[in-house]
Structures are given as structure tokens and as C-alpha cells.
Amino acid sequence: MKKLINDPADVVREALLGMQAAHGDRLRVDHSNRVVFRADAPRRGKVGLVSGGGSGHEPMHGGFVGPGMLDAACAGEVFTSPVPDQMLAATLGVDGGAGVLHVVKNYTGDVMNFEMAAELAAENGVEVVSVVTDDDVAVQDSLYTAGRRGVGVTVLLEKIAGAAAEEGRPLAEVADIARRVDGQGRSMGMALTSCTVPAAGRPTFELGENEIEVGIGIHGEPGRERRPLAPAREVAAMLVEPVLADLPAADGAPVIAFLNGMGGTPLIELYIMYAEVQQLLEKAGVPVARSLVGNYITSLEMAGCSVTLLRADDELVRLWDAPVSTPGLRWGM
Amino acid sequence: MKKLINDPADVVREALLGMQAAHGDRLRVDHSNRVVFRADAPRRGKVGLVSGGGSGHEPMHGGFVGPGMLDAACAGEVFTSPVPDQMLAATLGVDGGAGVLHVVKNYTGDVMNFEMAAELAAENGVEVVSVVTDDDVAVQDSLYTAGRRGVGVTVLLEKIAGAAAEEGRPLAEVADIARRVDGQGRSMGMALTSCTVPAAGRPTFELGENEIEVGIGIHGEPGRERRPLAPAREVAAMLVEPVLADLPAADGAPVIAFLNGMGGTPLIELYIMYAEVQQLLEKAGVPVARSLVGNYITSLEMAGCSVTLLRADDELVRLWDAPVSTPGLRWGM
């Protein structure tokens, strides 16, 4: 295992030290709870947005904390759900009196722990609504999930619901918008290589020299099938076709097209893939309103990519365009 | 070779198609010349900033084109200098009557070709000043370079000189600022793995399972030495110490600290490295004014990182903070 780490047991703690060092001007890290907060949390009267999950998907979620997106993110061990106490600390820490939205990716541990945290928060007088993302069309049930896995849509949802919260909209509306994003978004990913969880010290799975895994999960969970290595244009079709087949028509609204890197694939390849994705969408008659290309929801150093398409009406596009200032996504401020 | 590409011969052309598809709202790609332009170039009365070099270092340079940074970037084949005709097309295309600054990394081919382009531009009545970056303290001469290689400082220079040009300052002043950045900045990098140039189809060099290359160049050129794999805190010291030893005192100005990923190393590791770098700077009594952590000047899918320190007086920090809107660096607009 070749990694730029110290002790494998310290990876998450030390990465949070690095986040604090790099972004201490606008983030505050609660190291005992492993929660990344907006420096100015809680914001009086604003709905708080809390997410979190296993580490190893950076910049998600800690890198999406900041004005216009999340108020706090809980960091679990690599590929392991945070515990309810972390989520409770995050929830209480961001509550500004308008309630808190939990953004939860659909993995059994995360869902269970966020539910428990929401109950504890309610006991503390904080209203919590949870929205669970389940946008991965690859498989119905999976290694850590009953139902579909939550993947790339989570990034878009955190941005769009974050903008709605920043506008001062009430919890029910912010939650509605978040549910709309999950309902209108679909994703699928693939891997060229495995990743290695530091504490395990060896690759999560093995792929042959000429094999790819289509429909891979963001923790290396098995996908739909193994296929021979193929050109970018064929790989793009393997991802775009199932996503389009499952994508709600939503009155023919255009899409936000998100081509995500899994962590180990260089940007030059992501652009090649995006060119293919855009051509496929053009052929299918799907207009692209906005796009995002880069490493946003990763699986450590896994090589590969995923495609997320979100049917975005005018309101969702407007919220997407709203200013945001986080380490991972930043524009307009 | 496992890559998300089609024909290895088409990598650069297709990546530029992807950039156009993703960023066509604010970039214009001249596909015949392989130049990425600001959509609104040329800007009347503004000094034009042109850079470029071999591809494979994305987001540099095309991803740094936009308001507040470059006006155009020329894309060579992977790890191969663009030709003078490309640089000439870029220079003529951005000239708004105030002259053009060429930002050139110190590699023999780039320097020679940019010189020729500057002469051709002069014949066309466009004043050009060139600034060559040579910030890599690892080795004095190298595989493709007489003198020190130009690496991470190039990113900081393009941002800072770009801000000066955006303010409407004259060519001589923008060039002075650019030279100041190169003069006050130093870098050093390391690799955990090689990269594979698509046209070559095999790794540029071999590293053992427990070996790292310290002082690596961004094209895989040999560094100072091979050493056994070491913890992040030791790797940080291997990079920070030689950089600090060579860094001008510059009246004790604080530094902009830039921890760059080589492309294949995930963000979680870059944050761990940055925590170590910041501790070393603290111990050395070097205050950090600003920081940047992420993949900005890469070597395809190479795993590893580099450290760049720039002594930045108030003016350079102010220019660093100025609004910028490019695919690779964006804030304030």
C-alpha cells in the first residue's frame, strides 16, 4: 500500500487537521466529534443543512461546508458511517431555530445512525427532516444498502438545497426541493481499478489488466457486471444509457450533467469522457443546462468515473447558479 | 494501460472537445490551433496573458483561462511543447493593444518555441514580454531543461499576474509582478508511482513497491534520489526543508503555501500532507498568509505531491485574493 499517510488509524483525524489548517478562515473543525462546521454556524433563522458519511469520498462532505451549501458535515472512518453522537453534535451546532435538514446517502449504517440522531435532536427540541438519496441505477440492493445507493446526486442536492436554505426558505420547502432533486436525478459509475482502504492495507477487490467494473459502488461494492476494457465512447454509453432509461421525463426539462471522477483518474480523461457524454445526450435530444466535471464524490484513489443526470427546471437551475463558497465548490462569492 | 480514452493519438483533441462542452459558456476553443481562449478575448486595453505547454498537467493551463487569470492557453501533445504557430495564434488572438505576457515554464522546447512565437508576434506589431518560471529546487539541470524546471509557482504566477492585468496595469508592471512571483517562489515534488503517457502505453519509469522518487519532475524526470516509502510527516520534511533552504527571506513576508497533487493521489491524502507542511512551517517560524490544496499542476495519473512556497508581500496577497473565474480556480465572481 503506497499512500501519503502516517498511521492508517490516524487518517481521518489527520485529514481533518489539514482541512482546518487549509480552510480555518471559514471552517471550524470540532475534532472531538469529527464534525466540520461553517465558521459562522449556527445562523439565526436559517435552516441548517447537515450531511456526513464515511470518509474517503473527499471533497464530499466536509469540502461542501460553507455559505450556500452545508452547515456541517460528520466524518466517519473511511467508508464507515459516522455515529449518532457526531450527527447530534452537528445538528445541535447548526440549529438556528429554523430546524435542520439531514442529507443522508442510502447506506444502511448511515440511514440508521441519522435516524437515531434525528430522534435525539427532537428530544433536544430541534426539528429535523431527513432526505435520503438513492440515485444509483446500477443495482437494486447492494453490499451495504437495501434499495438503491446514494451517490452523485448527493453533491447536486447539497448545492441546490443549500442555496434554498441560504435564501431563508423554511424547512419544509428546503426538504421538498431536496426530495425533488433526488427524485429527478440518476447516476451510474464504473471503475478501472480498485481502491485500498488504509486500515485494510490491500485492494478492496481485484480487476484484471483488461477488465472494468460497470455499476461500481463508491465503496467498491460490486456493480452490474465486469466487462473488457473499452474505449471512452463505449464506457460513456454503458453509463449514460441506463441513466437515461431511468431518468424521469419531468416535462422535458434540461439536465445538469455531472461527470465525476472517482479520485485516481486525471482530469484530462474526465474531459474526454465528458465530450462523449455530451454527444450521447445530444443524440438523445436531452438539452444540457449546466455541467460539472471533476472529482467531487470519490472513492479514495480508485480510477474510474460516474455520470449523474438531474432533470432541472428553472428553479433548480437558478438554485444551482446561486453563489456558493466551500473548499470543493465555489462561485459567485 | 487502463485509461478512459479512445485512440491515444486523439487524447488532446478530445479533451479539448470536453473542455468546450463543459465550459463553452465562458471559454472558446480554437480546435485547429489547440488554443483555449477566454470567450471575450481580446479585451481592449488589457494586457493579454498567454501560457501553454504540454498537455497532461490539467487543469494547467487551459483550466486557468478566464477573467482574472489567463486569456489563452496553448495545448501541446501530452508532455510535449506546443509549436510556435499555436503560441502566435494565441498571442494575436488576445492582443487588445496593450501587449501580451508569455508565461513559460522552463523546459527547453517551450522556451525555444515561445521565443520564436514572440518574434513572430513582434513582426505582427504585438509587443510581447516573456517570463520563464524556474522554481523547482530539486535539480539544477534536468532531462528537458537547462537550469531549474518550472513547476508549481506557475499556477500562483498565472493567478497573481492575471489579477494585475485585470486591474489594467501596463505590460511592464504585469511582467515585473510575474518575475517577482517566480523570484520569490520555490517548489519540490515527489512521486509514489509513475504515470503512463498514452502514446507510449507503458509507465515512464519504474518504482519499487516500497520506493518513492523525491524531487520528481512533472513529466516523470528523475529527481534527487529514490528513498524507501516513508510516513507523510517524513515526506513533508523531504519537500519543505529544501524549499525553505532556498526560499528568499523577502523581509520575512509570509508565504502562500501550495500543496499540489500530482493527479492520482486522493484529496484525503493531500490534506494529511498539508497538515504536516503547516506544522513544519510553524516550527520554522514562517507565517502562512494563504493556502491552496488540490490537483492544479498534475502529471496525468501519477500519485504524489509537490510543495510550493511563495513569499508574498501585501501586494501579492491582495492580487491572489482578487476575483478569478476559471474552470480550475474560481472565487469572488
Q: 176-205 in A: which are within 8 Å (CB) of B? A: 192-193
The answer to whether residue A7 is domain-embedded is no
Q: Does B21 touch chain A (CB under 8 A)?
A: yes
Same domain, A46 and A168: yes
| CB contact set of B32 (below 8 Å; sequence gap of 6+) | none
The answer to whether residue A4 is domain-embedded is no
**Of the partner residues B11, B231, B330, the one whose CB lies closest to the CB of residue A272:** B11
Is pLDDT of B142 > 90? Answer: no
Query: Mean pLDDT lowest for which of A187-201, B138-152, B165-179?
Result: B138-152
Q: Does A18 touch chain B (CB under 8 A)?
A: yes
The answer to whether residue A224 is domain-embedded is yes
Query: Hey, which residues of A are catalytic here?
Result: 57, 219
The answer to whether residue A261 is domain-embedded is yes
Same domain, A77 and A128: yes
Q: Identify all chain A residues contacting B5, using CB atoms and an 8 Å cutoff.
A: 231-232, 269, 272
Domain boundary among A183, A208, A235: A183
User: Which region, left, alpha or beta, applies to residue A329 given φ > 0 means left and ψ of -120 to 50 means alpha?
Assistant: beta
- Residue A50: CB atoms within 10 A of its CB come to 35
Domain boundary among B157, B184, B211: B184
Is pLDDT of B251 > 90? Answer: no
pLDDT at B145: 85
Same domain, A229 and A140: no
Which residues span the domain enclosing A174? Answer: 15-183
Same domain, A121 and A259: no
Yes or no: say if B71 and B37 are a contact pair by the CB < 8 Å rule: yes
CATH code of residue B296: 3.30.1180.20
Count residue pairs from A and B with Cβ separation < 8 A.
Answer: 183
pLDDT digits (tens, 9 = 90+) for B91-102: 999 999 999 999
CA A270, B104, B161: angle at the middle one, nearest 5? 90
| A59 prior amide bond cis, ω within 30 | yes
C-alpha cell at A273: 469522457
Rounded Cα distance, A194 and A302, in Å: 5
Residue in this structure with the C-alpha cell 466535471, named with its chain if needed? A293
Is pLDDT of A252 > 90? Answer: no
Same domain, A87 and A236: no
Strand order, beta sheet including B304-311? B225-228, B211-214, B185-191, B304-311, B255-261, B288-294
Candidates A92, A94, A22; CA nearest to A63 is: A22
Rounded Cα distance, A217 and A140, in Å: 12
pLDDT digits (tens, 9 = 90+) for B193-245: 999 999 999 999 999 999 999 999 999 998 999 999 999 999 999 999 999 99
C-alpha cell at B35: 488554443
Q: Is B23 an active-site residue?
A: no
CB contact under 8 A, A271 and B22: yes
Domain boundary among A126, A154, A183: A183
Q: Does A321 touch chain B (CB under 8 A)?
A: no
Here the ipTM equals 0.98
Q: What percent of chain B has pLDDT over 70?
A: 100
Same domain, A151 and A218: no
| CB contact set of B160 (below 8 Å; sequence gap of 6+) | B177, B178, B181, B316, B319, B320
The answer to whether residue A237 is domain-embedded is yes
Rounded Cα distance, A326 and A166, in Å: 13
Rounded Cα distance, B207 and B212, in Å: 7
The answer to whether residue B227 is domain-embedded is yes
Is pLDDT of B311 > 90? Answer: yes
Rounded Cα distance, A271 and B40, in Å: 22
Same domain, B45 and B162: yes
Q: Identify all chain A residues contacting B18, using CB atoms and an 8 Å cutoff.
A: 270-275, 278, 293
Q: Identify all chain B residues contacting A327, using CB atoms and an 8 Å cutoff.
A: 293
Candidates B70, B16, B44; CA nearest to B325 is: B70
Same domain, B35 and B176: yes
| CB contact set of B309 (below 8 Å; sequence gap of 6+) | B185, B186, B187, B240, B243, B244, B247, B255, B256, B257, B258, B281, B286
Same domain, A196 and A173: no
Yes or no: say if A168 and A45 are a contact pair by the CB < 8 Å rule: yes
The answer to whether residue B1 is domain-embedded is no
The answer to whether residue A9 is domain-embedded is no
pLDDT digits (tens, 9 = 90+) for A131-148: 999 999 999 888 888 899
CB contact under 8 A, A18 and B270: yes
CATH code of residue A130: 3.40.50.10440
3-state secondary structure of A301: coil
Q: Give the model's confidence band at B141: pLDDT under 50 very low, under 70 low, under 90 confident, else very high.
A: confident
C-alpha cell at B19: 473542455
Same domain, A158 and A25: yes
Residue in this structure with the C-alpha cell 470567450, named with its chain if needed? B39
Rounded Cα distance, B135 and B309, in Å: 10
Rounded Cα distance, A301 and A279, in Å: 28
**Of the partner residues B11, B265, B291, the one whose CB lies closest to the CB of residue A22:** B291
pLDDT at A20: 98
Yes or no: say if A220 and A299 are a contact pair by the CB < 8 Å rule: yes
- Give the pairing of strands B48-55 and B72-78: parallel
| Structural domains in chain A (count) | 2
Same domain, A140 and A214: no
CA A184, A189, A190: angle at the middle one, nearest 5? 165
Candidates A102, A46, A96, A97; CA nearest to A74 is: A102
C-alpha cell at A46: 436559517
Same domain, A222 and A79: no
